[in-house]
Amino acid sequence: MPLPMRVAELAGFDLLLDIARLGSIGLAAREHAISQPAASARIRQLEALVGVALVDRSPRGSKLTHAGELVAGWARPVIDAAGDLEAGIAALREERDTHLRVAASLTVAEYLLPKWLAALRIADPETAVSLSSGNSADVVEEVLAGTAELGFIEGPDLPEGLHAHTVGRDELLLVVAPDHPWARRRRKTTPAELAAAPLISREPGSGTRRALELALLPLTLADPLVELSSTTAIKAAVSEGIGPAVLSARTVALELAAGTLVGVEVAGVDLGRRLRVVWRAGRTLRGAAADLAAIAARGA
């Protein structure tokens, strides 16, 4: 509920306590970094608000009246509590400024964020970062809930309540085992063939899966052959010949170079997607959050 009018402003009571302690309006004014006339005006305003005289003024100094002593006694625990409140708020702000909570989809978390965080360490050495990873839907949920200040997603969908900025592009690539029939033929795979093929796929909510669904519209993807929540597990399953998969080209570069996976071109389909940083609408990125977003935009 609203504070009563007579105690809503605590500065006058705080000044009264210092007059009692120091025995002088002038010394109390100096303590509060205000002029003596300003301090006298503040006390007169407090006396008018309370309705009784609180300070006896004399050439030898100032002391509280009996009523002033009573009011000061009642005010002291309130002023102390206000000081505790201010200290607590300051501690929260300091923790916020030195602790950055980040959520990222798997591709970003595993293949891009390590370099970005190393650069952030140089720019903001006092900032501690906690990172959670999941699919793009998980990241969006965390940012909207306020459990992450900054999120990185691969998915094309952006719910209300979020701001987004594109930090780079990524390409999806159809990959198969070296002995898969698609690995040996010369022509490109058609969108219809890809849509009809049961894939080793990420779970619903994955940015990779959603981007592929949109890229193949109006075709509908066949039900997944296997759903796995780990890119590493999908790559292992593909290389064992269980089936094809569509993954970020960034995540399969080493396997393509080693020959354990083979990339297959798909005709007439744009498999590019945006990588975006997201944060809650109505907020402005500052400090380490703004630095990390800028680092991502430069490095992605």
Mean pLDDT of the chain: 88
Arithmetic mean of pLDDT, 245-268: 95
In this predicted model, which residue has the larger pLDDT, 172 or 79?
A: 172
Per-residue confidence (pLDDT) for residue 89, from 0 to 100:
62
pLDDT score of 285: 86
Residues of the chain with CATH 1.10.10.10: 5-95
Fold of 5-95: Arc Repressor Mutant, subunit A (1.10.10)
What confidence score (pLDDT) does residue 91 get? Answer: 55
Is 3.40.190.290 the CATH number for 99-294?
A: yes
**pLDDT for 92:** 54
In this prediction, residues 225-252 reach a mean pLDDT of 94
**Which is nearest to 248 in space by CA: 108, 135, 151, 138?**
108
Confidence of residue 97 (pLDDT cuts 50, 70, 90): low
pLDDT digits (tens, 9 = 90+) for 134-185: 889 999 999 999 899 999 998 788 888 999 999 988 899 999 999 999 998 8
pLDDT tens, 175-200? 999 999 999 888 999 999 999 999 99
pLDDT class of 18 with cuts at 50, 70, 90: confident
Query: What is the mean pLDDT of the segment spanning 59-70?
Result: 86
Residues of the chain with CATH 3.40.190.290: 99-294
pLDDT attached to residue 152: 95
